[in-house]
Structure 1
Amino acid sequence: MAALAVVFALLVNRVVPALSPAVIAVLSGTALAASAGVGGRLRPGLAFVSRRVLRVAVALLGLQIAVPQVLALGWQTLAVVAVATGVTFTVTPRIGRLLGLTRGTSLLIATGVSICGAAAIAAMRESTDVSDDDDAAGALGVVVLYGTASIVLVPLLAALIGLSPTQLGVWAGAAVHEVAQVAAIGAASGVLAGAVTVKLGRVVLLAPIVALTSHRLRRLQDAAPRPGRTRRPPVMPLFVAAFLAMVIVRSTGQIPAAVTDAVPQVTNVLMAAALFGLGTGIDVRKLAKGGRAVLLGGIATGIVSTVSLAGVALLV
């Protein structure tokens, strides 16, 4: 079932490149769960792809990132990325609490908006124990909604403001949620390579942010243990450590070009399978009632867009 969903996602992606296979797959899983339902015979396989396959996909994501290429962006661009990501990830959960959202929903929305969309949401969900399927549903919905809108709005606003092509590339890479969405903006505006490189610079932050969050949750759990809860978040999940290892390996420059060319396609397939499995656990009826999650996603998108735009105007 997951394999069929991946084939469908890849075909739709060819027609609508702005929608990544991962986003199409999670929507397909959600639609299946809402219509025909998912029988008990499929559950073990879907659980496997939504966890084990997901971890492999996140680890392989590191092979797309060469640190020298990211550093070549210059300190100004790296500062824009770091500040916009850090501010958004820090402030969003606090706003979520004010809106009455759960810690899990607020954390996943902060992660998806500030770092790299669906992949970051899935990685954070696997690394902590404060979120469930409903939290993931709200966060994924936010990424799809506002990320897709950004494909139109970011180039339009850049033209109105008068940003140069270089500034547009940095802003898109620092503010837009999904890699595929950034690529769509870059391809349409002639800044594909620069925008995607900036975006991958954001993706590098996935490992330290997940590790720091997991460490903080361990400390909170030790300080105030809950009855019946025995699982502690790991200091750094093994698949996140593998992601870092893959970044290091890619940065050595010893990986054959044939491998680096094939890795994005392999990662897309694995991530689509994993997110299809995750999508089958989403309850659309609960998602439809998640107005506050949509509001928080809009606020978070506004924060990352405004902070990164200010940085671009000042430094780039």
Structure 2
Amino acid sequence: MTAIQASKKNIERLLILAILVCLAFIYASFLSIDSSSYQSFFQSYGSTAWKDLFVSGLPSIELFFIVLAKGLYAIPTGSYILIFLYVLFAVSLKLYLIDRESRAFEVSLFFYAAYFLLPLDGTVIRAALAISLLYWSFYLLIKGKYFYYLLVVMFCTVFVHYSSVFFLLFLILVQVSFSVIFGAIVLALLTFPLNLNQLLVQLMGNLNGSDLLSFAPFSKFYFYVTGNINNTISFSLFGFKSVLAYLAALILYFYRDSFSSFERICYKSFLVSIFVFILLKDFPVVQSRLADMFGFAFIFLVPYLFALLIILSNRFFAISAFTLVYSLLFIERMGL
């Protein structure tokens, strides 16, 4: 690649980043279902004194959010600057990874824009940043940049504490074989006739007042589970999106020997997202959060499916088919 071509590519990437960040920021600030909650969090945490930070123990919201809220509270538009910074960091890291690790940048980019940009980076901005840091850390680990990997882990442990536990889960994925994860999916399918809702709610209810709930990951999980009792939302295990995911997982299995080290972890993560989606069918709030976290990995695998469709048909048909599927996924994801 010549210097001119490299410069043109960098300008294109910056332009794409600017467009994605602007879209996610506008949606997160004014249109998402969580926009008012973040304004409320900003007021609640930003208005308190720094000395009161640990008065009631470890805060239930991550320190990164609190530090930004306190630092920006005196600025009239401080809450919007906070949202912008979250969106900027999260989208930048995702775009960097797509540029570095995707075999077809445009295919992965459009899938990310259709399925994750607004529902994730434009809605649950805190979880979106945690997911970006999680995948970026494993990119650094695979590339042998151990010092920077440890820095990211330490940052997340201190500032994004409730998500730091998932670093351990991803480290386990490095060692676990594909067959073990497929076996777990089969076991999850066997629980399909059962309703695990009341069982887990009762189990978590027994933890009420326990010291375990002072540990942020447990307290967050406890909140989602016990708050799910009267939740009537359900995500079909055999809906359009679900069937596509199952089919994609089976097709991608035949490409496993072609995967890079990063893609192998992504494929395992994608399989875990299916396992979580099936097992936690009675807990849609927890189900959707964990499925998104592990399912984000599919962004880096979708180029294999695009290439297969080109082989089976032609490039025009593949582009048309993927455009249609992306559009349908966007409509379903946004509830349009």
TM band (smaller chain): under 0.3
Structure with the larger RCO, 1 or 2 (CA within 8 Å, 6+ apart) = 1
User: TM-score under structure 2 normalisation?
Assistant: 0.23
* TM-score, with structure 1 as normaliser: 0.24
Larger radius of gyration: 2
